[in-house]
C-alpha cells in the first residue's frame, strides 16, 4: 500500500495559468480532504469529498477553485487563472470512514510566478 499519493510534488505556474493537483487516496479509503498551508501560516481546510460527491466545500475560495473525486481515478483540485496568492502547499488526506483518522500525502508545493 503506497499511502496517499500526491502529484506533482512541486508545480510552477505563471499567473493566469491553470493548476491541477492530484491526490490518490490509500486503497480502501473513500473520504478525501484537501488542506492548504499558506507560507508562514497554519493549515486550513478547503474541501471534503467522497466518491462523486462534495460533502463540505466551506473552505474553498468562491471563485477559481474546484475539486472533484470521480468514481474512477484520483481526486483533483483545480485552480484556474492562478495568482501569486495561490502559492502554498496543498495537502490531501484520506480516511476509510468518518472520524477514523487520517493519512496525509506529502503535499504539492505550488509556486505562482
Partner 1 sequence: KNEVEQSPQNLTAQEGEFITINCSYSVGISALHWLQQHPGGGIVSLFMLSSGKKKHGRLIATINIQEKHSSLHITASHPRDSAVYICAVIGLNNTDKLIFGTGTRLQVFP
Residues forming contacts to partner 1 in the complex (CB under 8 A) are: 31, 33, 35, 41-45, 48, 55-56, 58-59, 91, 93, 95, 98-99, 101-107
Quote the least distance from Cβ 43 to partner 1, whole Å. 4
Instruction: Tell me whether residue 63 or residue 99 sits nearer to partner 1 (CB atom).
Output: 99
Are the beta carbons of 3 and 103 closer than 8 angstroms? yes
Among 94, 93, 102, 61, CA closest to 78:
61
Quote the least distance from Cβ 15 to partner 1, whole Å. 24
CA distances from 97 to 28, 29, 31, 41, 82 (A): 10, 7, 6, 28, 33
Instruction: Tell me whether residue 20 or residue 102 sits nearer to partner 1 (CB atom).
Output: 102
Amino acid at each position: 500500500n503506497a499511502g496517499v499519493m500526491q502529484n506533482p510534488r512541486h508545480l510552477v505556474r505563471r499567473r493566469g495559468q491553470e493548476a491541477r493537483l492530484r491526490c490518490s487516496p490509500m486503497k480502501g479509503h473513500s473520504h478525501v480532504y484537501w488542506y492548504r498551508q499558506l507560507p508562514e501560516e497554519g493549515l486550513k481546510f478547503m474541501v471534503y469529498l467522497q466518491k462523486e460527491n462534495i460533502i463540505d466545500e466551506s473552505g474553498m475560495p468562491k471563485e477559481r477553485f474546484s475539486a472533484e473525486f470521480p468514481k474512477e481515478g484520483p481526486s483533483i483540485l483545480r485552480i484556474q487563472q492562478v495568482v501569486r496568492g495561490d502559492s502554498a502547499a496543498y495537502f490531501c488526506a484520506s480516511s476509510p470512514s468518518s472520524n477514523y483518522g487520517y493519512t496525509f500525502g506529502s503535499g504539492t508545493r505550488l509556486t505562482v510566478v
